[in-house]
Chain A
């Protein structure tokens, strides 16, 4: 059931070619304001390409994209001001501390922020004076997500946000993502973790080979599948191994 909400991102017939290879083959979809929208698919499906085109980081070959009424071809700088972006693989000046990096980004966005507070959102307030290069992979990921919130964006784009994180960090990040949405922002994420999509996303689009195969809410898609006669092979227990793990090791951020 979709309530009639304002469309904040509209993608129309988007194509992206790299020479002979077509990464995105004429996809169209809409993202509603205030929802958590997921772009699912295997590696190489075209999710990251699509996301980067919407984030104004990549040129499209053809198609129309509108973000909060702004045109991705003409209003790039205005779009950059209202979005937060977490890249799949990103770097920062490795010798700088987290506080110094937040200073850098607050200057880049022309805003003033409460740096300690920002770091506490992702559980890194103890590492504020640590250099970026000394962080573990998971901590770097969390810092990346922290930088997406600096300019108080209307839309937050997350590219595989929990890849490489341990179960505690994943759960805590899911909570953070829900809180971001709770404050009124829209979240667009890509993932190939289905449990994540099921937990967080109100609607998902499943991509493969540059095309969108299907798009609906996770519940709808599951109902459809079951209705078509599908049956799971193994009997589902009332708990799984991840529940065991979390139960035994606790739900707090773990220092890596």
Chain B
């Protein structure tokens, strides 16, 4: 047996901790589920949404077969860029209307008698597409008014509309989706990754073997935590950079914004890992872990403004969205990336995240099991 020198110098917990970090990082990068949830999944969404792009309103309107098209009202409607005209057999369009696939069916009727209005504009909408229907009705109402005014212009108009569209920053889909995907990635890595890893380390007695070495327990946890943070930072950076250069994701202050986002990502991950520690301590067996992890993550994926804004939720659901930590992370991310606010201006978001962090780590320290 070769004599290996055990130097008499002080045992370095840090050296031991970093060898745990290295080993853990290798392990994470070779684990298919970690890679899928942290990178592949978010990337797919970003690519898809990146290609959708644009944030324009679009309303589909069915043109009734008997609709007169040689009138100024029809021209107005046709000229609007938001309106997509659809021509299909009437029965099909009726069904589409009831299903909400088109917002309205328009039939303009030319009347020959002069006692009533010359043009009768029939607009049929349905409750299946209320927003689109409202837009069309307003549009047609405007067109009607314009036609009437053109016929009888008042000598001195009561009011005059002066529209002016500013060249605002185009808030495209990618600007909304990328922070959401980052949040998704961090939540997955933090909860699922940590929960499974510690459960497995404990149950496969890897931890037990560590205890026979001089490393102290907090250093084992820190070693794992650093590895997870490093991995998440790498994947987050990759997502942001790809989103920026390939799809025009807005980094309002460039490199500074990039770093602020990473710092925010770190904070979010830290809170989410606390949830993972709790799950790993509380789960009685391995099959319960995905259940618990999903209970924590799924509501947040759906309701924290990850894929779509929280405004779409009815008012009775809003309070729930307001307590989820991911909501605040996503919100802060978007503000920093797109509006270029500093850290101080998102203090409310940070405060809520911080409170969650405190609560979660207090519970985790009680519940986390070493064997």
Determine if B204 is an interface residue (Cβ-Cβ < 8 Å): yes
Known A-B contacts A110-B16, A114-B2; the reply to A90 vs B23 at CB < 8 A is no
Q: Is B11 a contact of A81 with CB atoms below 8 Å?
A: yes
Contact of A111 among B4, B22, B23 (CB under 8 A): B4
Residues from 171 to 198 in A contacting B, C-beta threshold 8 Å: 179-180, 183
Q: Is A90 a contact of B205 with CB atoms below 8 Å?
A: yes
Q: Is B23 a contact of A101 with CB atoms below 8 Å?
A: yes
Q: Which residues of A contact B15 (CB under 8 A)?
A: 107, 110
Q: Is B22 a contact of A103 with CB atoms below 8 Å?
A: yes
Q: Is B213 a contact of A105 with CB atoms below 8 Å?
A: yes
Q: Which residues of A contact B11 (CB under 8 A)?
A: 77, 81, 110
Determine if B347 is an interface residue (Cβ-Cβ < 8 Å): no
Q: Which residues of B contact A117 (CB under 8 A)?
A: 2
Known A-B contacts A80-B212, A95-B26; the reply to A112 vs B19 at CB < 8 A is no
| A155 CB → nearest B CB, Å | 12
Size bin of chain A's contact surface: 35 or more
Q: Is B212 a contact of A114 with CB atoms below 8 Å?
A: no
Q: Is B206 a contact of A80 with CB atoms below 8 Å?
A: no
Q: Is B212 a contact of A83 with CB atoms below 8 Å?
A: yes
Determine if B162 is an interface residue (Cβ-Cβ < 8 Å): no
Residues from 83 to 107 in A contacting B, C-beta threshold 8 Å: 83, 85, 87, 89-96, 100-101, 103-107
| B202 CB → nearest A CB, Å | 10
Q: Is B6 a contact of A90 with CB atoms below 8 Å?
A: no
Q: Which residues of A contact B211 (CB under 8 A)?
A: 56-57
Determine if B163 is an interface residue (Cβ-Cβ < 8 Å): no
Contact of A87 among B3, B31, B205 (CB under 8 A): B205
Determine if B24 is an interface residue (Cβ-Cβ < 8 Å): yes
Determine if B214 is an interface residue (Cβ-Cβ < 8 Å): yes
Which residue in chain B gives the minimum CB-CB distance to A55? B212
Size bin of chain B's contact surface: 35 or more
| A95 CB → nearest B CB, Å | 4
Known A-B contacts A80-B212, A108-B210; the reply to A91 vs B204 at CB < 8 A is yes
A-facing mask of B24-63, CB < 8 A → 1, else 0? 1011001100000000000000000000000000000000
| B295 CB → nearest A CB, Å | 27
Determine if B1 is an interface residue (Cβ-Cβ < 8 Å): yes
Contact of B1 among A56, A101, A106, A121 (CB under 8 A): A121
Determine if A66 is an interface residue (Cβ-Cβ < 8 Å): no
Which residue in chain B gives the minimum CB-CB distance to A147? B209
| A137 CB → nearest B CB, Å | 14
Determine if B315 is an interface residue (Cβ-Cβ < 8 Å): no
Determine if A149 is an interface residue (Cβ-Cβ < 8 Å): yes
Q: Is A108 a contact of B213 with CB atoms below 8 Å?
A: yes
Residues from 38 to 91 in A contacting B, C-beta threshold 8 Å: 55-57, 77, 80-81, 83, 85, 87, 89-91
A-facing mask of B303-322, CB < 8 A → 1, else 0? 00000000000000000000
* Complex Cα gap A192–B365 (Å): 40
Contact of A80 among B1, B3, B213 (CB under 8 A): B213
Determine if A150 is an interface residue (Cβ-Cβ < 8 Å): yes
* Complex Cα gap A166–B27 (Å): 30
Number of A-B pairs, beta carbon distance below 8 Å: 113
Determine if B215 is an interface residue (Cβ-Cβ < 8 Å): yes
* Complex Cα gap A94–B137 (Å): 64
Known A-B contacts A152-B3, A152-B4; the reply to A90 vs B209 at CB < 8 A is yes
Determine if B5 is an interface residue (Cβ-Cβ < 8 Å): yes
A-facing mask of B180-208, CB < 8 A → 1, else 0? 00000000000000000000110011101
* Complex Cα gap A110–B216 (Å): 13
Contact of B23 among A87, A93, A110 (CB under 8 A): A93
Determine if A135 is an interface residue (Cβ-Cβ < 8 Å): no
Q: Which residues of B contact A57 (CB under 8 A)?
A: 208, 211-212
* Complex Cα gap A109–B16 (Å): 7
* Complex Cα gap A179–B12 (Å): 30
Q: Is B6 a contact of A81 with CB atoms below 8 Å?
A: yes
Contact of A56 among B30, B206, B212 (CB under 8 A): B212
Q: Which residues of B contact A152 (CB under 8 A)?
A: 1, 3-4, 6
Q: Is A150 a contact of B4 with CB atoms below 8 Å?
A: yes
Q: Is A112 a contact of B5 with CB atoms below 8 Å?
A: yes
| A106 CB → nearest B CB, Å | 7
* Complex Cα gap A92–B23 (Å): 10
Q: Is B5 a contact of A87 with CB atoms below 8 Å?
A: no
Determine if A139 is an interface residue (Cβ-Cβ < 8 Å): no
Q: Is B215 a contact of A108 with CB atoms below 8 Å?
A: yes
Q: Is A180 a contact of B1 with CB atoms below 8 Å?
A: yes
Q: Is B213 a contact of A111 with CB atoms below 8 Å?
A: no
Known A-B contacts A100-B23, A103-B22, A149-B1; the reply to A92 vs B214 at CB < 8 A is no
Q: Is B212 a contact of A113 with CB atoms below 8 Å?
A: no
Q: Is A108 a contact of B19 with CB atoms below 8 Å?
A: yes
**9 chain-A/chain-B pairs, Cβ below 8 angstroms:** A57-B212, A89-B205, A91-B201, A91-B209, A104-B20, A104-B23, A107-B16, A107-B22, A110-B11
Which A residues have a C-beta under 8 Å from some C-beta of B? 55-57, 77, 80-81, 83, 85, 87, 89-96, 100-101, 103-114, 117, 121, 147, 149-152, 179-180, 183
Q: Please give 6 more A-B residue pairs, beta carbons under 8 A apart, in addition to A95-B30, A110-B7.
A: A77-B11, A77-B216, A81-B6, A100-B23, A103-B19, A112-B5
What 5 pairs between A and B have smallest CB-CB spacing?
A107-B19, A91-B204, A85-B212, A95-B30, A108-B213
